[in-house]
Amino acid sequence: MSDVFEIAQSQIDKVAKQLNLDPGLHAIIREPKKVIEVNFPVRMDDGSVQVFKGFRGQHNNAVGPYKGGIRFHQDVTYEEVKALSTWMSIKCSVTGIPYGGGKGGIKVDPRKLSEGELERMSRAFIKAIANDIGDAIDIPAPDVNTNPKIMGWMLDEYEAIKNRSEPGVLTGKPISLGGSLGRTAATGRGVDITTREACKKLGIDMDKATVAIQGYGNVGSYAGMIIQDMGCNVTAVIDVYGGAYNPDGMCAYELDAFVKENGTVKGFPGSKDITNEDLFALDVDILIPAALENVITKDNAGDIKAKIISEAANGPTTPEADDILFENGVHVIPDVLANAGGVTVSYMEWIQNNYGLYWTEEEVNERLEELMVKAYSDGYEMAEKHKVDMRTGVYLNSINKIALALKDRGWATK
């Protein structure tokens, strides 16, 4: 199974069966409520006009407004946005934040755009979906290839259209525009908090543990730096241009500085290049996929030697691979739990915007720590109780919460 939306639905169906979920509620949860497709023109630097295709999936808003990032990637599709928005609904209920799921994307390779084209495209997309978002409707944020700078342009455009200040319409903003301290590192930090909790359960000593990371962008790099602070040794990293492998370990901070200068981890001093195939099969304790979907499949799951897979990316593991990993005793911390730190601090950003009161980084990190530890332990307990993998355990908790909200709105079968 490689169609991501089909995967998302199959994960929901599996849990619905286990929960004996009301058929009406199940039918609602397995489809996004609304998917918007826009085709919008952008003036390019050479004077030509290019029409870009963008999407916004709004999966479910029973618990609260739709919430989730916007990605810029050449492989973005209607189906992908449907899957990613579904996963966001599950994810928001994992840490219990009052949001439903949303996700957007533009089909574009942003590396091919100039800075000016990138800005005009970002503004044009927000203009195209301005009436479908809002701080109580749908709240976008960064995702693959988007960042605080882009959120700043989008906020500026949105507020100009609406003629009002509404900083809570977007999260992951620059600090000067109401962004939260701790937001940029939050996804990586959350990945590492859940990994640390898993190490405790499995009796793995973090001071002796080795880590391999696929993807060294915002999420992968912070996951690398923070897990190193927790005692681990990063021995392999890879990005779209190539890899860096050193069995003695590499400094995650120096890697980050190297990427900022060279645009890739490839060529990091003292390292050898490595392929994705080899990275996944490395004899490490912790494997962190921090790039895109469908990278752990039935073809490579059996080669994985890591004891813990911490899914920093959304949807990196197919259902067939999940079964193989469970059988082999690999502890998979599912995306909707492992990477929930980003949206959890987005929620804190939104609260701060709505109150006009701002917290210190320590306060944000403390709250994140508390919510992530609880989410991990709730998922772990549920998985133990039902003798299922962590993904199923976490989904059981989450779908229960969404189903209850839908039921209380009157949507259960009579």
The catalytic residues are: 103
User: Do 290 and 220 meet the contact criterion of CB atoms below 8 Å apart?
Assistant: yes
Least distance (Å) from ligand GLU to the CB of residue 345?
Answer: 7
Q: How far is the CB of 302 from ligand GLU (least distance, A)?
A: 28
Of 262 and 354, which has the nearer Cβ to ligand GLU? 354
Query: Site map for ligand GLU, 167-206, x if CB under 6 A?
Result: ----xx----------------------------------
Torsion, Cα 348 353 354 356, to 10 degrees, reads: 120
Q: How far is CA 248 from CA 235, 254, 286, in A?
A: 7, 15, 15
Q: Which of residues 115-154 bind ligand GLU (CB under 6 A)?
A: 141, 143
**Alpha-carbon dihedral of residues 198, 204, 210, 216, nearest 10 degrees?**
10
- Residues whose CB is less than 8 angstroms from the CB of residue 412 and which lie 6 or more positions away in sequence, other chains included: 22, 24, 25, 406
From 112-120, 200-208, 298-306, 337-345, give the range in contact with ligand GLU by CB under 6 A: 337-345
Three-state DSSP class for 332? strand
353 binds ligand GLU (CB under 6 A): no
Q: Measured from the CB atom, is 343 or 403 closer to ligand GLU? A: 343
Find, among 344, 310, 71, 309, the residue nearest to 186 by Cα. Answer: 344
Closer residue to ligand GLU (CB): 16 or 343: 343
H helix count then E strand count, the chain:
14, 11
**Interaction of residue 314 with ligand GLU, rule CB under 6 A:** yes
- Where on the phi/psi map is residue 182: left (φ > 0), alpha (ψ -120 to 50), or beta? left
Verify binding: residue 68, ligand GLU, rule CB under 6 A.
yes
State the nearest-atom distance from the C-beta of 148 to ligand GLU, in Å: 12
Check binding of 67 to ligand GLU (CB under 6 A): yes
C-beta closer to ligand GLU: residue 68 or 178: 68
Q: Is 342 in the site for ligand GLU (CB under 6 A)?
A: yes
The strand pair at 286-289 and 308-310 is best described as: parallel
Judged by beta carbon, residue 153 or residue 411, the one nearer ligand GLU is 153
Pairing of strands 331-333, 34-43: unpaired
Q: Rule CB under 6 A: which residues touch ligand GLU?
A: 67-69, 91, 141, 143, 171-172, 314, 339, 342-343, 346
